[in-house]
A and B are shown apart, each in its own frame.
Chain A
Amino acid sequence: MKPLFVLLSAILIISGCASKFDRNDPLGKKSFPLISQDSTVVNFPQDYKGKTMVLGFIFTNCPDVCPLTSHNFQMLQEEAKNKGIKGVNFVLISFDPDRDKPWVLKDYAKVRGIDESNFKLLTGDKDTIRALMRKMQIVAVPGDTTKTSDGELMYFFVHSDKAFLIDKDNRVRSEYRGSKLDIAEAIKDLQALE
């Protein structure tokens, strides 16, 4: 009985040391052709193979929650740079492709002062975005609406608040809340994947 207990303990310790991550889910071979804020085609996730990626989902008409996610990504980007962590890409995908065209994303990046050197904002055609959302289990359903004085119908989404850490082999390793991202914790995770 005692040797069995020792063996089980050893297995638990070894497996605990082997990975700090709770997930190891491959994104699969399916490619999602998306378009960046610079109107370049990005094949997601294949184009990020060999690099670590922090991935989130937003819509640019969101005035409250999504800017928190964007801001957290910017802070993480800056902190990763300060810590000398290399080979990380930051990706925000819009789940509102009808309104978030590449030039809208470009303007969003510009006005928010995003360092675009390793930070992409992506959109795509509706079907591709929907398929990708299903794959990543992202929910975004139209919720609150309001009409402007000139008759424009504004809609907002009830949406997921998820962000993901994806390793160099395109495997999801961790999941965070985008608007409440713990920068220190995410930095440790990035260092563990270096």
Chain B
Amino acid sequence: MTAVILFLSLINLLSPQIKIENAWMRNASRGTNSALYFDINNTSSRDDELIDVSSDIAKVVQIHETYKQGENMGMRKVDSIIVKGKSIFHLSPAGFHVMVIRLKEDIKAGDKKEFVLTFRHQGKIKIKATVKSD
């Protein structure tokens, strides 16, 4: 059994089924908040689930969604994002995003910042997000 798990993990490492594309975040100064956006491309036929995002650049990193309540806009934490097999899930402004709360440093346009995404099946994926002033 252990050998099978090791073998599957090795396959995952060699040919990742989850690809993270177009990762970017907004510029912001130390002590304030930013948001991280990216596309999750699930190339396998099996559903997967983003269950955690972490980074050393902020005190808190959480998966959130922006929602409309009548004419007003709000945000709420979500536990995870399910990415259906053979589909692309977009995290984008005014939609699902990763909240990067209380930055420990200034992040300027052009910088690249590291995050670790954890998927239920794929495991951990390290990404670098480009900082933009959008």
Residues in B lying within 8 Å of A, measured CB to CB = 26-29, 32-35, 59-60, 62, 64, 66, 69, 71-77, 93-94, 97, 99-102, 106, 108-109, 133-134
Q: Please, how many angstroms separate the alpha-carbon atoms of A71 and B26 in the complex?
A: 11
Are A71's CB and B134's CB within 8 A? yes
| Chain A residues with CB below 8 A from B32, complex form | 60-61, 107-108, 111
14 A–B pairs (Cβ distance < 8 Å), ordered by A:
A60-B32, A63-B101, A64-B66, A68-B94, A108-B32, A111-B108, A113-B109, A144-B77, A154-B33, A154-B60, A154-B102, A162-B71, A179-B93, A179-B94
Please give the distance in Å from A75's CB to the nearest CB on chain B.
Answer: 10
Are B60's CB and A149's CB within 8 A? yes
- Which of B34, B69, B73 lies in contact with A63, CB distance below 8 A? B34
Are A63's CB and B35's CB within 8 A? yes
Please give the distance in Å from B25's CB to the nearest CB on chain A.
Answer: 9
- Report whether over half of chain B's contact residues are helix, strand or loop; otherwise say mixed: strand
- Which of A64, A108, A152, A179 lies in contact with B75, CB distance below 8 A? A64
- Which of B28, B33, B66, B69 lies in contact with A65, CB distance below 8 A? B66
| Chain B residues with CB below 8 A from A143, complex form | 74-76
| Chain B residues with CB below 8 A from A62, complex form | 33
- Count of chain A residues near B, Cβ 8 A: 33
